[in-house]
């Protein structure tokens, strides 16, 4: 890409966008405020002296602005918010200061860009966390119902919970008090509705899979033991492009959320962390792949064998030791005199 003549930092909000425009040749800085519509921001960037390069933070507004700018021939960098350097004493936060901070970091090349997905992939990344949210709501609703029964001393001992037999048993439970019974009926209805929503979202995800850009990665992930279709789709939604990791250790560090001195990386906008527990790499020893643990120079230094410290006490003869570790002549008792 050619060296940009005009650099723009955008502080994007739902209803307002503040732009800081920096002339790379003269260093002149100007500000401009506009509405939050994507078309006006794209027209503003395309009207500046080319070549133009724009930067803004990844946020709830998505990636539509970045795709529209690239379509008009304007370079765009979507910066990762967790990796934007900020001074420790800089606590004043305004829209103009944020836009100026972005454009100066863009000029210095200190912004870490995130991968911009296509519109179809971004839509799928909205569907996957929707299913994960319903699944978590279902788990909480089931826990509340089980604790309600436990407070009334009612337990299910005929097999596993939340099976067909368990549902038939729940339909015949009577708590005795009208208020408690009304709450039990309401909680059963909420659980049934969440089950229907979960099954509907899962069927929709599986139906869209043959036509989505994740068909090949999902098929490869399913070859691993312990990963089914929905878990593989969740991994693809969280990671996006596996090719951005040069080694397997980098993927493991991304999953753990610790990048050697950096803060925990945030997930792409709007996807959360689907199936974080159930998508962890299987343990070794059962025909599964295990990644080597990450090392650190300080840890390696601590693990290195240390040289034994020189002795500063007294030796066997009661003499002060000089701390020298070189072997000396062996001590032998003096021969006794003949009588």
- In order, the DSSP letters of 245-257 are -SSHHHHHHHHHT
**pTM (predicted TM-score):** 0.62
69 and 190, same structural domain?
no
| pLDDT tens, residue by residue, 285-305 | 444 444 455 555 555 555 555
CA distance 98 to 57: 10
36 and 123, same structural domain?
no
Considering the domain boundaries, does residue 325 fall inside one?
A: no
219 and 246, same structural domain?
yes
- Residues near 155 by beta carbon (within 8 Å), at least 6 away in sequence: 149
Residue 80: which of 238, 272, 276, 267 has the closest Cα?
Answer: 267
Pick from 58, 88, 108: which residue ends a domain?
108
177 and 101, same structural domain?
no
CA distance 78 to 66: 7
Query: Is it the case that residue 15 has pLDDT exceeding 80?
Result: yes
**In 152-241, alpha helices (H):** 164-171, 178-208, 215-221, 229-239
Query: Is it the case that residue 277 has pLDDT exceeding 50?
Result: no
56 and 124, same structural domain?
no
Considering the domain boundaries, does residue 163 fall inside one?
A: yes
Kindly report the CATH number assigned to the domain that includes residue 58: 3.30.420.40
Of 83-92, 131-140, 222-231, 284-293, give the lowest mean pLDDT range: 284-293
Considering the domain boundaries, does residue 142 fall inside one?
A: yes
Query: Is it the case that residue 311 has pLDDT exceeding 70?
Result: no
Pick from 84, 108, 132: which residue ends a domain?
108
Q: How far is CA 77 from CA 86, 187, 199, 237, 329, in A?
A: 18, 47, 38, 21, 73
Residue 287: which of 228, 229, 224 has the closest Cα?
Answer: 224
Count CA atoms closer than 13 A to 154's CA, side-chain side.
Answer: 16
Number of domains in the chain: 2
Domain that residue 97 falls in: 6-108
Q: In what order do the strands lie in the sheet with 29-35?
A: 29-35, 16-23, 6-12, 52-57, 75-79
98 and 174, same structural domain?
no
Pick from 64-68, 234-238, 252-256 the range whose average pLDDT is largest: 64-68
pLDDT recorded at residue 335: 59
CA distance 139 to 164: 17
156 and 39, same structural domain?
no
Pick from 79, 108, 137: which residue ends a domain?
108
């Amino acid at each position: 890409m050619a060296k940009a003549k005009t650099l723009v930092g955008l502080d994007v909000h739902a209803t307002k966008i503040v732009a800081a425009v920096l002339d790379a040749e003269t260093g002149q800085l100007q500000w401009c405020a506009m509405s939050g519509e994507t078309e006006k921001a794209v027209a503003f960037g395309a009207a500046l002296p080319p070549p133009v390069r724009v930067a803004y933070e990844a946020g709830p507004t998505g990636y539509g602005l970045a795709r529209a700018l690239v379509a008009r021939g304007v370079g765009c960098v979507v910066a990762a918010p967790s990796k934007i350097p900020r001074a420790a004493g800089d606590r004043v936060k305004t829209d103009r200061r944020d836009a100026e901070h972005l454009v100066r970091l863009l000029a210095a090349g200190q912004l870490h860009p995130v991968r911009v997905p296509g519109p179809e992939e971004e839509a799928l990344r909205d569907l996957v966390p929707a299913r994960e949210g319903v699944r978590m709501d279902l788990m909480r609703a089931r826990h509340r119902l089980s604790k309600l029964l436990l407070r009334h001393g009612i337990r299910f001992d005929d097999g596993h919970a939340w099976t067909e037999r368990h549902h038939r048993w729940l339909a015949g439970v009577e708590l005795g008090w009208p208020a408690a019974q009304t709450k039990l009926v309401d909680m059963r209805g909420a659980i049934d509705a969440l089950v229907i929503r979960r099954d509907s979202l899962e069927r929709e995800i599986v139906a869209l899979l043959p036509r989505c850009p994740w068909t090949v990665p999902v098929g490869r992930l399913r070859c691993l033991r312990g990963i089914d279709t929905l878990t593989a789709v969740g991994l693809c939604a969280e990671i996006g492009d596996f090719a951005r990791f040069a080694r397997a250790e980098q993927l493991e560090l991304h999953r753990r959320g610790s990048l050697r001195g950096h803060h925990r990386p945030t997930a792409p906008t709007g996807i959360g962390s689907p199936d974080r527990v159930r998508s962890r790499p299987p343990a070794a020893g059962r025909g599964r792949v295990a990644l080597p643990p990450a090392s650190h120079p300080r840890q390696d230094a601590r693990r290195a064998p240390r040289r034994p410290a020189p002795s500063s006490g007294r030796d066997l003869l009661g003499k002060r030791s000089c701390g020298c570790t070189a072997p000396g002549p062996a001590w032998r008792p003096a021969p006794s005199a003949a009588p």
